[in-house]
Structure 1
């Protein structure tokens, strides 16, 4: 043999070349092994594997309502993965998985020689699940011409180490926890939740095959986008399972007959359940985590540490709220636009339009280029193109300019809806606007608006606390106050200026002139003090007009102020985080309800106010809850409408649930065209009504639906035992009944009430 090699120069050179290639191969391999092209994770690193994990947001009823993540990943354990899912994966991706040691040597040699010698850069393939796991864990870097070879060798080294550390079941589990699926989803649990709204352990054979099938090409076999391609690939998975003995022929054929039924869940920033709530939660939790440290003394990361955030939000209530908002607001928007017609301010008011334009990036860019405002308006009205615009329930493709788009979004009404449990302040539903993707401004956490007549119950509460009896009568006549301000009423009550009404009638029918008189008799300072006791933190102006709700207050403040009416006079602070845990369920921080220790008003005052606000629903401005929506619940409430119909409000209170609703335009200068559309009973109340209808239809909420306010005490019944109105007599009309005289009469009633309480009043029915 050696003599033959000596006699044949060609054979000698061939052997030299082969030896040189082998030497180069060895040197090349060991250069990779020792980290010349980048450090390879050690055995210890691989033992301590820690991948970025999505933080989960859970509702109070245990539903996953959102996630925060860089990569959408939630780990599961081996016993949570169904056997048929593991079989589908092995049969499709690596049939010899249980036989090899993690590396297919023939495949690696093929890649090396084809890539290096034949310059075939598409020669990849044949990777085992362990090699794919190595790639999933550490990704691939761009090394230029030799990139595929270097990456393959690096992965082979990592795969060998993985096989030494973990058994086959552990490798399968690691793979399924890290493999990328469609729609920026990583790991089987996240994919199962996103595409089928269920945990991995509950996946059927058919669902498992769909998910395994998409691993070959995430985009091409995405069942949401390409259902037919996905079904074809799923059937290939069934065929592979039959080929390798995991399914019988009959089972395979039966599985192929099934349809793909997705239950797709959006967990991204803009879509899915409660997006406004999730965004505010993200801000709050980020601040909370800055104060906490992990075992290594580092702050927790909401995007990477796989935390579990438990909230007070009820997923069903949230779902009902969003459906109610969408149903009502889409109809109200239509009425709003029709009422203005072609004279709408978002079409004709140049100042309004220009102010909206100035908030855009396009304006700022053109302004920097030196264009005037008029020139910018002209520029933005050029080059129409197809644009996707929000329009309740569907995205419309409309051909228009940038200016057309600005006008389109300027016309929309918006809303805020907050439902809380009065006894604790636990937030149950939160809608900050009509569409988070289009309108990021949250009208619960960010907005303060004039609250209109929803402030009146605070005025009347202060009056009762300062000794004004509920049967005190006040004239409906208009009075001019400081600075020439003369509040007036709307509706039929202004037709008879000689009428005087008691507090129950005046509040339930929202009579403005009387509300201001009640405030003036109580004292502006006393009313402001009462508001603060009830939880109002916004600065209230010391003017008579606050009786009509001219002060700007947030929804959360207003909700807090009303909770005491169903909570023994103690206001509850709205809260929505109950606890935060790490990924293993260990408690990091917990939050408890914050209820005021001191009562804000007496039990007698509370009972009187409940009776008055019940009258608002039964016979006052909110009667359509009964007549139109057929609600039979015990409900106390108050409607509110601000000046020029800029804001519509409704506060609905049941014994177990309080909801505050606001409706209006984001720009304060755009009001409703008329009161019939803009009044709180029409603009805001229907959202609460539709919401409560859905609550009543759901047997899971029977405790809320069937809850009843307690009967008022005998004392309260006695204090409210009077006619709703009285009319000025002949001499009062002839000579005029002075405000001082009426004040003296009310003072007499105060004294009478005091002595009745002191000595006891004989009950009429005794």
Structure 2
């Protein structure tokens, strides 16, 4: 009697099953190897990772250690990890058995809860993305990027703008992801976890022209990073995800919801108790908004003068009327190390310094307290004494141009129109002279300067020029006679509206100049 044949899975089938199971892992390994070898484009070298380039704001310091202004393309300043710790120990948080600053606790709890346990790539998160995001099409689960991968993307942004097709865009995204994985592994090799967390906080955008945690803390709360409390840290970490959508200025309700989500994740991660989370979530977001602008802040005229002097190029003969003026300018340029400093000095790579991107720290002799008093004194004198006299003259004569002929008045106005931003912008946009002229006689909404504050009004651009021509101006420079150090510098009533620096550019009779001496 014959034996019945055994039924089962053949060895060949088992072999193919194992091959199919391991094929994705083998494909990923091959792709990683090819990426590391540069097949899909170059990846950052170890040297670049050790010295990552970033647009750092130049900070201008007063003699008493205050930051009185910045020059920037992106308003970004770096801080070290140790500088994030609050001096008040009660504000520090314990997470994963370590004491961390509130901003770091909020970041790890929200973006990468296993930050301390991986080497740049979080395998469980990738598995979650593969199942829930790719297979189940549940995009609410996020992309699975670690803090280190996000840092790699911030330091070395993806280049997908030129690939418009869906297939090409997807292929570019996949290769970019592999590059970020390799870069993340290199970052983990080069830096500690604390350094990576600080670098991430220093590189991200927080909205309102604030880049980096130091600028964000100053802009939104007028604080140093080590002064942020838990709820403020949660607001800033929440904003990073979408700076406009979660802006506490533009979309307050969204910002509150996002902050509370960050607090909830902090509680889930063990950084907060549930009671703490609930009590902080009930609080409103209280801002102390201080946007950074070249037109606002203290010592605006001094900062502009400093920028022009440090960026000055060697004088050319055709810039001067006389040979004597030219020789004096050349002598000043050659003997004064501040004139043309950015061109005279070179970085390690041989390139000149860029005052907007190289994160310089400029220490001046300005005393921030004396500067504040000087600005207040000029404002008060102009508002209470000088401007009322000008206003009385206008009421009596109905003209701001006293003893000027009609031709002279028209020449002054034509020159003012040509020097205006509106004229330059319309001319560069291709408008004809007739169209530009007509636009200056058409009423529109605008802000105008008054000594009582900015005023929203409806008037023609030509009338606004006449209005600002009627605003009296003054300058004030305070110098220490023992050292020659400039302690206060005021070039006009308001730098936003009046760029002309009366202190440096204004001409004076010799009689007025000699009076202080």
Query: What is the TM-score with the length of structure 1 in the denominator?
Result: 0.52
Work out which of the residue numbers 262, 287, 306 in structure 1 matches 2:359.
306
Q: Which stretch of structure 1 is more off in the superposition, 403-412 or 108-117?
A: 108-117
**Separation (CA, whole Å) in 2 of partners of 1:451 and 1:2:** 107
Q: Please say if 1:173 is aligned against 2:233.
A: no
* Aligned counterpart, 1:289: 342
Shift of 1:355: 3.0
For the 8 Å contact 2:53–2:155, the answer to whether it is kept is: no
For the 8 Å contact 2:378–2:475, the answer to whether it is kept is: no
Aligned 1:681-720 pairs, distance under 5 A: none
SS at match of 2:208: coil
* Aligned counterpart, 2:455: 396
1:696-745 deviation line (CA, Å, top 9, x unaligned): xxxxxxxxxxxxxxxxxxxxxxxxxxxxxxxxxxxxxxxxxxxxxxxxxx
Work out which of the residue numbers 259, 263, 267 in structure 2 matches 1:234.
259
Higher relative contact order (CA 8 A, sep 6+): 2
* Aligned counterpart, 2:372: 319
1:132-187 deviation line (CA, Å, top 9, x unaligned): 11111111211442243232222122112222222322221221222222222222
* Aligned counterpart, 1:733: none
SS at match of 1:66: strand
Higher gyration radius (CA):
1
For the 8 Å contact 1:377–1:403, the answer to whether it is kept is: no
Shift of 1:94: 1.5
* Aligned counterpart, 1:89: 107
1:375-416 deviation line (CA, Å, top 9, x unaligned): 578523454332233334543333333323333332222221
Aligned 1:176-575 pairs, distance under 5 A: 176-256=201-281, 258-286=283-311, 287-331=340-384, 332-333=386-387, 335-341=389-395, 343-345=398-400, 349-360=409-420, 379-392=438-451, 394-450=453-509, 454=512, 457=515, 562=517
**Separation (CA, whole Å) in 1 of partners of 2:235 and 2:360:** 28
* Cα distance change, pair 393–237 in 1 and its aligned pair in 2 (3 A): farther
Work out which of the residue numbers 175, 186, 190 in structure 2 matches 1:161.
186
SS at match of 1:340: helix
Q: Unaligned stretches of 5+ in structure 2?
A: 1-7, 86-99, 312-339
* Aligned counterpart, 2:56: 53
SS at match of 1:290: helix
1:51-101 deviation line (CA, Å, top 9, x unaligned): 343221111111111122233222222222222222121112222212232
Shift of 1:313: 0.8
Q: Unaligned stretches of 5+ in structure 1?
A: 458-560, 563-766
* Aligned counterpart, 1:760: none
* Cα distance change, pair 248–152 in 1 and its aligned pair in 2 (3 A): same
* Cα distance change, pair 97–275 in 1 and its aligned pair in 2 (3 A): same
**Separation (CA, whole Å) in 2 of partners of 1:384 and 1:427:** 43
* Aligned counterpart, 2:69: 66
For the 8 Å contact 1:121–1:148, the answer to whether it is kept is: no
Shift of 1:350: 3.3
**Separation (CA, whole Å) in 1 of partners of 2:369 and 2:430:** 51
* Cα distance change, pair 388–290 in 1 and its aligned pair in 2 (3 A): same
SS at match of 1:75: coil
SS at match of 1:73: coil
**Separation (CA, whole Å) in 1 of partners of 2:415 and 2:343:** 38
* Cα distance change, pair 225–320 in 1 and its aligned pair in 2 (3 A): farther
* Cα distance change, pair 277–251 in 1 and its aligned pair in 2 (3 A): same
**Separation (CA, whole Å) in 1 of partners of 2:258 and 2:139:** 26
1:614-670 deviation line (CA, Å, top 9, x unaligned): xxxxxxxxxxxxxxxxxxxxxxxxxxxxxxxxxxxxxxxxxxxxxxxxxxxxxxxxx
**Separation (CA, whole Å) in 2 of partners of 1:136 and 1:189:** 17
For the 8 Å contact 2:63–2:367, the answer to whether it is kept is: yes
**Separation (CA, whole Å) in 2 of partners of 1:377 and 1:48:** 49
**Separation (CA, whole Å) in 1 of partners of 2:392 and 2:256:** 47
* Cα distance change, pair 391–16 in 1 and its aligned pair in 2 (3 A): farther
Shift of 1:277: 0.7
**Separation (CA, whole Å) in 1 of partners of 2:352 and 2:77:** 20
Aligned 1:2-13 pairs, distance under 5 A: 3=10
* Aligned counterpart, 1:137: 155
Aligned 1:90-105 pairs, distance under 5 A: 90-105=108-123
* Cα distance change, pair 445–224 in 1 and its aligned pair in 2 (3 A): farther
**Separation (CA, whole Å) in 2 of partners of 1:132 and 1:380:** 48
Question: Considering only aligned residues, what root-mean-square deviation do their CA atoms show, in Å?
Answer: 3.9
**Separation (CA, whole Å) in 1 of partners of 2:428 and 2:234:** 55
* Cα distance change, pair 271–175 in 1 and its aligned pair in 2 (3 A): same
* Aligned counterpart, 2:42: 39
SS at match of 2:177: helix
**Separation (CA, whole Å) in 1 of partners of 2:430 and 2:346:** 48
Shift of 1:328: 3.8
**Separation (CA, whole Å) in 2 of partners of 1:310 and 1:62:** 8
* Cα distance change, pair 242–387 in 1 and its aligned pair in 2 (3 A): same
* Cα distance change, pair 367–269 in 1 and its aligned pair in 2 (3 A): closer
* Aligned counterpart, 1:487: none
1:327-385 deviation line (CA, Å, top 9, x unaligned): 4434443552353138224798434322322334665767999978xx57852345433
**Separation (CA, whole Å) in 2 of partners of 1:209 and 1:367:** 45
Q: Please say if 1:149 is aligned against 2:174.
A: yes
Q: Please say if 1:80 is aligned against 2:83.
A: yes
For the 8 Å contact 2:476–2:503, the answer to whether it is kept is: yes
